Amino acid sequence: MYETDAELTALQQLLDASFARASDHLTGIMRPERRLTAEQLVADLTGIAVLNVATVTARGEPRISAVDGHFLHGCWHFTTDGGSAKARQLRARPAISVSYTPRDGYGVFCHGRARFLDRGSPDFTVLSEHCIRTYGQSPDEWGGNIAYVRVEPAWLVGFAFAREDA
């Protein structure tokens, strides 16, 4: 868990605001007792999470792919080849949606903007060092043009029909 108290508070505020403007259909499924709190989310999202990432082509056609996601400081992060279609699409149109659904009855859904992290910036360093601890090597060893991406969330919800640890 990397989140500070301030980040946990901001994440909880985002979760509350997102549910407040969610549709009746969504809130009917994600009733209050099923909604994950900020503390539950960060406790659950400690390892690699296979994220479904949605982007849009220049012609407005939707595209979906999967990445290894990392939930750090209250935001999703991932790396990808800087020349991939996903990276090109996000540089041109940074709107992004990601979902994490590891099993039936559990999900985390997020809409926001992709921010490519500048090498040497504090956010880049956090993700790079996390990846080295997680994979035993830097993503830069996987290719010469690795993009480090943070999803800046505008809307985020999480739910569990039944808590596995309950």
pLDDT by residue (tens digit) across 41-97?
A: 999 999 999 999 999 999 999 999 999 999 999 999 999 999 999 999 999 999 999
Q: What's the token pair of residue 85?
A: 């279609």
Q: Is 5 helix (H, G, I), strand (E, B) or coil?
A: helix
Q: What's the token pair of residue 100?
A: 């994490």
Taking a C-beta distance cutoff of 8 angstroms, is the pair 127, 117 a contact?
yes
Q: What is the pLDDT of residue 163?
A: 63
Taking a C-beta distance cutoff of 8 angstroms, is the pair 42, 34 a contact?
no
Check pLDDT > 70 for residue 165.
no
What is the average pLDDT score of the chain? 95
Q: Give me Rg for the CA atoms of the chain.
A: 16
How far CA 163 is from CA of 32, 39, 40, 75, 134, in Å, comes to: 13, 13, 10, 22, 25
**Nearest residue to 14 (alpha-carbon basis) of 74, 64, 67:** 74
